[in-house]
Amino acid sequence: MDTQTISWPAKDLSRIPFAMYHSPEAYAQEQERIFRGPTWNYLGLEAELPNAGDFITTVIGDTPILVSRDEQGKVHALVNRCKHRGAVLRREVCGNAKDHSCIYHQWRYSLAGQLESVPFQRGMKGEGGMPADFDKSKIHLDELKVEVYKGIIFATFSAEAEPLLDYLDAPVVYEIDRLFAKKIKVLGYQRQRIFGNWKLYNDNVRDPNHGGLLHMFHATFGLYRLSQIGGAKLDRKHRHNITFNQLGTDDAEAKEGYSDTKKVFQSEYQLRDTAMLQNKKEFADPVTLVILSVFPGVVFQQIANSLCTRQIRTRGLNEMELYWTYFGYEDDDQAMTDHRLLQANLCGPGGYISMEDGEAVEIVHKASFTAQDKHAMVEVGGKGEIRDSGNLISEMPVRGFWSYYCELMGIEPGEQENAELAAKQAAAQTPLQKAAA
């Protein structure tokens, strides 16, 4: 469906057109206006490339990125594409090098991305080679603006982007300061390929309401229930979200709230080994869960002592990869490292409390394909103004994501013509649908 014909009937974004998860035109625009637009994108952690010459390869949206630390220790974010014929320059996931050479024709770039040499530049015996006006000093890999905060590497394609800390805003910076107060060490990676549009995962992590309803392991064993103290905090533009809660703070009301479901408070189910569920208190506050989602593609996680980043990597319209980087702190003793590793059972593609997210994204993607003239309903937590939530029974941050999405995409939700379009679509219902209505 052409993006011009997609209707946005609700100004408060309590209706999201399903077509936005399936439109190739929207996907192409997102790459340009969001991922290559004035957003800050997560690239990785400084701890992954501590030394001069260290590099990692990653993506921003679909664009391949080479993150390279030069001889002076500066981190560069370069488009991982040779300026000559467009080949992938660095093919490895990570490594250490003195320079970056393209395998195709051996064009060699410095660690900072400057072209340094081209084989046979002057040809042989006055024949062949590059023309006389070729100036290698003018050729540099496409370079992004980088800001490193607390060891987290962000980059932007756009000169228009706000400074990173303004983009993140105070509530997000507070959480990053908390999670990255100490030097970190990487414990490993997990990858999860989800066959659904990348925005469905952004919706998922901005929906605290599903945590205690879809992920029943968590609810059953009391790590996270919707009735516990918690909530959702937003930045001033509502594009990011912090879902948080505290262990062991719910009460008798909880049982009532769950009375229509069958899977909570089943006391006959007890784990034989509860070591994984222990929270070893390590923060000054009592918060035991933080899911911090930064627009457009990264999540920072604390679940008890399990800490990680989750990068959302687009893989076309209908597929994405979640790239999980687990970490602990450099000053963790072996027992703490072991505990974090054990607790990693909770998360990732096989995580007790996260494995279902892939399925949730996939079933929405699948069924919404045939409903592209219809809209998702986003009303849990209230309609109207987008604001912080004082408990977890809310999906308001989903509307926050879409409000900034629309701003970048140039969409004005709730416009008169949108309402007319929606009315036209409603009028075009099948006779059977009309009869049902």
Between CA 155 and CA 138 the distance in angstroms is 23
Does residue 260 bind other proteins (CB under 8 A)? no
Between CA 340 and CA 360 the distance in angstroms is 26
The residue (of 104 and 269) whose beta carbon lies closer to other proteins is: 269
Does residue 271 bind other proteins (CB under 8 A)? yes
Does residue 350 bind other proteins (CB under 8 A)? yes
Where does this chain touch other proteins (CB under 8 A) — which range of 113-121, 160-168, 174-182, 186-194? 186-194
Residue type, 177: D
Q: Which of 102, 185, 195, 109 is nearest to 151 (CA)?
A: 185
Where does this chain touch other proteins (CB under 8 A) — which range of 63-71, 297-305, 349-357, 368-376? 349-357
One of 41, 101, 190, 202 touching other proteins (CB under 8 A)? 190
The residue (of 166 and 359) whose beta carbon lies closer to other proteins is: 359
φ/ψ region of 120 (left if φ > 0, alpha if ψ in -120 to 50, else beta) reads left
Q: Which residues, 351 to 370, sit near other proteins by CB under 8 A?
A: 352, 355-356, 358-359, 362
One of 127, 256, 273, 331 touching other proteins (CB under 8 A)? 273
The residue (of 36 and 218) whose beta carbon lies closer to other proteins is: 218
Q: Which of 43, 40, 84 is nearest to 64 (CA)?
A: 43
Kindly report the backbone phi and psi dihedral angles of residue 85, in degrees, each rounded to the nearest multiple of 5, phi listed first. Answer: -125, 5
One of 263, 281, 366, 434 touching other proteins (CB under 8 A)? 263
One of 47, 87, 342, 419 touching other proteins (CB under 8 A)? 342
Where does this chain touch other proteins (CB under 8 A) — which range of 37-45, 117-125, 130-138, 210-218? 210-218
CA 401 from chain centre, in angstroms, equals 12
Helix (H) / strand (E) element for 42: namely strand 41-45
* Burial class (CB within 10 angstroms; exposed 0-12, middle 13-18, buried 19+) of 388: middle
Helices (H) and strands (E) in the chain, counts: 12, 19
One of 3, 63, 192, 318 touching other proteins (CB under 8 A)? 192
Does residue 186 bind other proteins (CB under 8 A)? yes
* Burial class (CB within 10 angstroms; exposed 0-12, middle 13-18, buried 19+) of 213: middle
Inter-CA distances, 277 with 176, 281, 428, Å: 24, 12, 53
Shortest separation between residue 341's beta carbon and other proteins, angstroms: 6
Does residue 71 bind other proteins (CB under 8 A)? no
Between CA 41 and CA 144 the distance in angstroms is 10
What is the pattern of x (binds other proteins, CB under 8 A) and - over residues 7-36? ------------------------------
Between CA 66 and CA 89 the distance in angstroms is 8
Where does this chain touch other proteins (CB under 8 A) — which range of 126-134, 187-195, 236-244, 251-259? 187-195
What is the pattern of x (binds other proteins, CB under 8 A) and - over residues 217-256? x--x------------------------------------
Residues near other proteins (CB under 8 A), total: 38
Question: For residues 325 and 308, is the Cβ–Cβ distance under 8 A?
Answer: yes
Could you list the beta-strand ranges (E) of 219-280: 230-234, 241-246
For other proteins, the binding residues (CB under 8 A) are 93, 186-195, 214, 216-217, 220, 263, 266, 269, 271-273, 276, 321, 326, 337, 341-342, 344-345, 348-350, 352, 355-356, 358-359, 362
